[in-house]
């Protein structure tokens, strides 16, 4: 009975309901015609039996199918776990391998991976596990794996993506790169040459560059006497970066042997599918290279906006002319006349050069009957400049034109001419907000151009060949209206800027520097007063001596001084200590690291020219010149800055500089 109940249950209530209804109708049929009822009862019983048996057969077939399918799924699961082309690793809390599928055996010489540290398989894996990363990439036995990490199960899935990476690298390596090659001082060198030596130089340069292009598979085309266009791919550029663009040294050394001071600058645009954009990146990079003094390579990435620098290991040759100074002076005069007033601004923590150059621009404004003001944060002045400021205060007529940043913000309009001296970086000016409040900005600077630059200036006069901004301004003064008059203090301020930046005419001094100093001397500049500004007290001398005492010699020719912890030094003392270290026998470059009075870490760098301290300082978010640079760091200790500096020096000494 129970067997039939089970079979009836298998049929389902919808069929049972039909049979119940048929049974009721059968009873009515018996009532009206018992013979027909018997026949139909037999048919009903046969149909019921057939339905029950059919359902039983279907149930047996289903059970058999499920049983077979379950076996197959289990077998496939086991085979997939053991033979699937992806790695599976179970690891312990101590980061030791507990089990792997056979797929992982091929990536190790060991007979069994069980018990092995994950770090032995790939050093990066334990690091990523500590960081709780769910997805990361590792390289095992020259294979690239994308790893999916399930922390709760301590389980790693490793997907081989080597082919994908190869295709990706192939695509990246074939991306087009445009470069513009420029002969830095070709025009100045050849303008007075006869045809024969000029032709010889052209032949030598073309031969060197063609040989270099052929060796590396570069398409090279000369577009003018001093300009070449080069087309290459990313793989070629990577190789050139690996060799640190040896072509710069080859051209410099070969032509220097012939007493021809010719160098190359190369601007390169990368990471853009748009060819016109690549061309713009290439030209922009070249402009940056030339603004930094030439003899270097600048590479701009179109996607990230990052810039890399190579070369720049020689002092730029002075090539500015009196003609250019006269043209700039005339252009500045016209801008001053068209403006409602002139506001002059130097860099933060101003030095003698910044103050002197600002006073020079003020005199240009006054000579052209335009009101001028100098922005000065009186609470952020060091000792040397403080003496100059005290002298200026004695001259009320001159001191009247010095205003604080807040007053300048209230005074400036769209018609105001803003002149920025001794810097070109918006983050370093006295008040950055002033830049956006006017449509007319002039930049006069002697530093090598950095990646950070003020947007859309009206006039730029940047000469990295000049000793100081005061020297540039002095030359501009000579071409201003004859009614321009410099007082003794004003001329002395400009001369002080030149003397401080040249270390009393010892560094970065050209013939034009002495000409500017001679002009200022003729206007009454007092050298004795300059020495008064530069005097120091005994405490300053002792503090500087302590800095020098803490000097270590690194890599046999680099002096690095580290200030005592919890002892602060002013930027002038730090710079003076670096200057003194450079005078020591066998020292090619000097670095002084110390905590500043404003709580930041200051580094002052000096060089005789064989070491480009500008590039080293740029790696630490600073800048300057090849022989004179500095940086200020936040949220870092003196010791951390020292270790970071040594790492960058090591990278530089290996031959490449990258920003």
Supply the pLDDT for residue 304: 84
Supply the pLDDT for residue 69: 66
Better-scored residue on pLDDT, 221 or 79 = 221
Identify the H or E element spanning 234.
Answer: helix 234-242
Residue 507, token pair as written in the block: 């560094």
Supply the pLDDT for residue 80: 62
pLDDT for 521-553, tens place per residue? Answer: 999 999 999 988 888 778 888 888 988 999 999
What DSSP line would sit under 544-604, residue for residue? HHHHHHTEEEETTTEEEEEPPTT-EE-HHHHHHHHHHHHTSTT-SEEEEEEEETTSSEEEE
Evaluate if residue 68 carries a pLDDT over 80: no
**Burial of 31 per CB tally in 10 Å (0-12, 13-18, 19+):** exposed
**Burial of 67 per CB tally in 10 Å (0-12, 13-18, 19+):** exposed
Q: How far apart are CA 449 and CA 97, in angstroms?
A: 54
Supply the pLDDT for residue 86: 86
Tell me how far apart the 2 most distant CA atoms of the chain are, in Å: 148
Q: How far is CA 29 from CA 41, 46, 332, in A?
A: 10, 17, 122
Given CA atoms 435, 441, 443, 448 in this order, what sign does their dihedral have?
A: positive
Evaluate if residue 658 carries a pLDDT over 50: no
Which CATH code, of 3.40.50.150, 3.10.310.30, 3.40.440.10, 3.40.50.720, is assigned to 539-653?
3.10.310.30
Supply the pLDDT for residue 379: 79
Average pLDDT, the chain: 86
Written out in words, the top-level CATH class of the domain with range 87-165 is alpha beta
Supply the pLDDT for residue 8: 53
Binning pLDDT at 50, 70 and 90, where does residue 181 land? very high
Domain 182-311 is found in CATH 1.20.1300: no
pLDDT for 105-119, tens place per residue? Answer: 888 777 678 888 898
Binning pLDDT at 50, 70 and 90, where does residue 315 land? low
Evaluate if residue 655 carries a pLDDT over 70: no
Supply the pLDDT for residue 559: 95
Q: How far apart are CA 561 and CA 250, in angstroms?
A: 35
Supply the pLDDT for residue 77: 61
In contact, 576 and 546? CB cutoff 8 Å: no
Evaluate if residue 413 carries a pLDDT over 60: yes
Q: What is the DSSP letter of 619?
A: T
Supply the pLDDT for residue 200: 85
Evaluate if residue 316 carries a pLDDT over 70: no
Supply the pLDDT for residue 176: 94
Q: How far is CA 595 from CA 42, 300, 551, in A?
A: 110, 34, 15
DSSP SS3 for 655: coil
Task: Provide the edge-to-edge strand list for the sheet that holds 135-140.
Answer: 97-100, 87-91, 155-160, 143-150, 135-140
Binning pLDDT at 50, 70 and 90, where does residue 383 land? low
Supply the pLDDT for residue 6: 54
Residue 549, token pair as written in the block: 């005492």
Task: Provide the edge-to-edge strand list for the sheet that holds 264-270.
Answer: 219-224, 227-233, 176-183, 264-270, 296-301, 307-311
Residue 648, token pair as written in the block: 């960058």
Mean pLDDT of 192-213: 87
Task: Provide the edge-to-edge strand list for the sheet that holds 417-421.
Answer: 402-403, 372-375, 342-345, 417-421, 440-445, 459-462
Supply the pLDDT for residue 73: 63
Supply the pLDDT for residue 614: 87
Interaxial angle between packed helices 322-338 and 469-477, expressed in degrees from 0 to 180 and rounded to the nearest 10: 80
> For the domain 322-534, what is the CATH code?
3.90.1640.10
Angle CA 366–367–369, to nearest 5: 60
In the chain, % of residues over pLDDT 90? 44
Q: How far apart are CA 549 and CA 444, in angstroms?
A: 38
Q: How many CB atoms lie within 10 A of CB 6?
A: 12
Residue 517, token pair as written in the block: 């100093």
Binning pLDDT at 50, 70 and 90, where does residue 177 land? very high
Better-scored residue on pLDDT, 384 or 165 = 165
Beta bridge partners of 629: 605, 624
Q: How many CB atoms lie within 10 A of CB 361?
A: 28
Supply the pLDDT for residue 136: 93
Beta bridge partners of 181: 228, 266
What is the model's pTM? Answer: 0.62
pLDDT for 323-360, tens place per residue? Answer: 778 888 998 999 999 999 999 999 988 989 999 999 99
Supply the pLDDT for residue 656: 44
pLDDT for 271-311, tens place per residue? Answer: 888 999 999 999 988 888 887 778 889 999 988 888 888 88
Evaluate if residue 659 carries a pLDDT over 50: no
pLDDT for 244-274, tens place per residue? Answer: 899 998 888 876 656 677 889 999 999 888 9
Q: Which residues contact 432 (CB under 8 A, 6 or more apart)?
A: 426
In contact, 358 and 435? CB cutoff 8 Å: no
Supply the pLDDT for residue 518: 94
């Amino acid at each position: 009975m129970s067997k039939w109940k089970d079979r009836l249950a298998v049929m389902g209530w919808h069929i049972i309901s039909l049979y119940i209804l048929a049974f009721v109708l059968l009873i009515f049929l018996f009532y009206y015609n018992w013979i027909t009822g018997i026949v139909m009862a037999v048919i009903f019983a046969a149909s019921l039996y057939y339905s029950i048996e059919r359902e039983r057969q279907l149930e047996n077939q289903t059970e058999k199918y499920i049983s077979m399918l379950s076996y197959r799924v289990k077998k496939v699961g086991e085979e997939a776990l053991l033979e699937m082309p992806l790695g599976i690793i179970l690891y312990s809390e101590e980061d030791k391998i507990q089990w792997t599928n056979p797929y992982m055996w091929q990536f190790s010489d060991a007979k069994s991976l069980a018990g092995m540290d994950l770090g032995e398989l790939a050093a990066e894996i334990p690091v990523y596990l500590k960081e709780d990363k769910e997805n990361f990439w590792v390289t095992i036995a020259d294979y690239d794996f994308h790893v999916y990490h399930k922390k709760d199960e301590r389980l790693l899935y490793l997907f081989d993506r080597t082919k994908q990476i190869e295709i990706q690298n192939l695509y990246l390596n074939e991306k087009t790169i445009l470069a513009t090659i420029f002969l830095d001082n070709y025009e100045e060198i050849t303008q007075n040459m006869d045809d024969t030596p000029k032709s010889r130089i052209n032949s030598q340069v073309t031969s060197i560059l063609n040989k270099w292009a052929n060796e590396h598979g570069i398409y090279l085309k000369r577009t003018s006497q001093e300009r070449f266009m080069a087309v290459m791919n990313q793989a070629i550029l990577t190789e050139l970066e690996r060799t640190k663009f040896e072509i710069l040294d080859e051209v410099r050394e070969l032509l220097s042997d012939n007493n021809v001071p010719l160098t190359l600058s190369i601007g390169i645009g990368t990471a853009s599918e748009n060819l016109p954009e690549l061309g713009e990146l290439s030209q922009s990079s070249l402009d940056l290279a030339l603004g930094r003094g030439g003899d270097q390579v600048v590479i701009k990435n179109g996607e990230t906006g990052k810039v890399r620098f190579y070369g720049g290991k020689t002092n730029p040759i002075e090539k500015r002319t009196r003609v250019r100074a006269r043209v700039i002076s005339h252009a500045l005069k016209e801008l001053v006349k068209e403006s409602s007033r002139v506001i002059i601004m130097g860099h933060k923590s101003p030095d003698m050069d910044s103050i002197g150059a600002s006073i020079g621009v003020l005199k240009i404004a006054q000579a052209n009957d335009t009101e001028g003001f100098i922005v000065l944060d009186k609470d952020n002045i060091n000792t040397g400049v403080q003496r100059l400021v005290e002298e200026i205060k004695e001259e009320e007529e001159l001191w009247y034109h010095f205003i604080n940043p807040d007053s300048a913000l209230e005074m400036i309009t769209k018609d105001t001419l803003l002149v920025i001296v001794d810097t070109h970086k918006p983050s370093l000016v006295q008040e950055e907000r002033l830049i956006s409040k006017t449509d007319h900005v002039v930049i006069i600077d002697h530093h090598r151009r950095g990646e950070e630059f003020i947007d859309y200036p009206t006039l730029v006069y940047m000469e990295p060949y000049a000793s100081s901004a005061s020297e540039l301004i002095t030359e501009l003064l000579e071409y201003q209206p004859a009614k321009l008059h410099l007082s003794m203090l004003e001329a002395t301020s400009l001369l002080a800027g030149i003397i401080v930046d040249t270390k009393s005419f010892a560094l970065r001094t050209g013939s034009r520097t002495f000409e500017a100093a001679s002009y200022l001397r003729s206007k009454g500049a007092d050298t004795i007063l300059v020495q008064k500004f530069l005097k120091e007290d005994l405490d300053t001398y002792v503090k500087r001596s302590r800095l020098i005492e803490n000097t270590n010699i690194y890599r046999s020719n680099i002096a690095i001084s580290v200030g005592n912890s919890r002892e602060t030094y002013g930027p002038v003392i730090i710079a003076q200590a670096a200057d003194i270290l450079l005078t020591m026998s066998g020292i090619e470059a000097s670095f002084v690291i110390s905590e500043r009075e404003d709580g930041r870490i200051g580094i002052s760098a000096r060089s005789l020219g064989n070491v480009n301290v500008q590039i080293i300082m740029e790696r630490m978010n600073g800048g300057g010149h090849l022989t004179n640079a500095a940086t200020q760091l936040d949220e870092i200790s003196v010791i951390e800055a020292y270790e970071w500096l040594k790492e960058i020096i090591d990278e530089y000494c290996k031959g490449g500089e990258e920003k």
